[in-house]
Structure 1
Amino acid sequence: MDVTRRHFIQISGATAAGLAVSGLGFDLRPVKAHAQMLKTKYAKETISICPYCAVGCGVIVHTSKKGDGRVINIEGDPDHVINRGSLCSKGASLAQLTENDQRVTQPMYRAPYAKEWKKVSWDWALTEIAKRVKDTRDSSFTFKNAKGQVVNHTTAIASVGSAAMDNEECWIYQALMRALGLVYIEHQARI
């Protein structure tokens, strides 16, 4: 690459200006620390546990004291024995659970071949889910296998558990799935 006189003067001028400004003592670290302090200075601090998996990482949740309880900041708890202040990508995005304006807050349904989702009531959604599970289970339930052994299961329904459930919720969930006769019971953490 050939350096022209004009290009050399531009680079030299920019370098000289950068060196002059850096020597004036501008250090933005205190400003950044002050800005972070202001974000949580007047907030209520609550120590909690991340809901996403069974690891149980500690988090510190800062909520507004203005009465609206709005989440201002969530960070890892440096004193927690498991995560020592670090959070995975899911834990780091915990504030999105309440503060995301695109968060779905009620049941949505998209009919087969439809392009749009529509809002439905909880009563309709739960009734429809129960009806479809019962219809599928009843039409595919196997009482005995080819050898005549009692199996009492269905292979037409599978279950993928949620990482947002604690151990007790997982136990209840798998007990329900086994009572329905499911044999394909999996958990999100293994996938």
Structure 2
Amino acid sequence: MDVDGDGAPTAGARRTPSALRRAEERGETLDQLLDRNLAELLQELRVAFTGVQVLFAFLLGLAFTQRFADLDEFALTVYTVTLLATALATVLLIAPVSYHRLVFRRRLKASLIVVADRMLVTGLALLVLAISSGVLLVLDVALGRGPGVVGGALVLLVAGVTWYALPVWARRTPPAGDPGPPGGEDRAAG
């Protein structure tokens, strides 16, 4: 393993000449590649974490409102799923900070980037679940079960397409005029 299709290092990035080659193709040293990948990852975490913070705060406060006692079994189940998905997304989106702190100055930046990337992708998947089930809950209470299910499903579908299907499609489709990765490597293999 070396770097993925986006140039992000994988588990063995420090040891493989391929990672160094990819860095050099961009005019970077391996350390510069790792630093750039870490900076990009941190920026993505900042964006994702803002959304999960707002949703989590709303959900924590919701249980203490008067109308909460009026929720039926379905709404309580949806609330529970939403709360747990949001809590787990929060944990996964904060986890790279703890990981970084515990491996700081141990020359494990490549490992940090790989692990943090996986945590971010998983945290985003949980955030999609949390957002769509949160919409389901609010619309169920405000408009009824039917509109709630339609709204929640619509959010889930749009998020699934824009957050996952579209990027996966883009990884597999080389840009116009791009002959593909050097050496005929499969772009999606990273």
Q: Same fold (TM over 0.5)?
A: no
Superposition TM-score, scaled by structure 1 size: 0.25
**Larger strand share, 1 or 2:** 1
- Ranked by relative contact order (alpha carbons within 8 Å, sequence separation 6 or more), the top structure is 2
Structure of higher CA gyration radius: 1
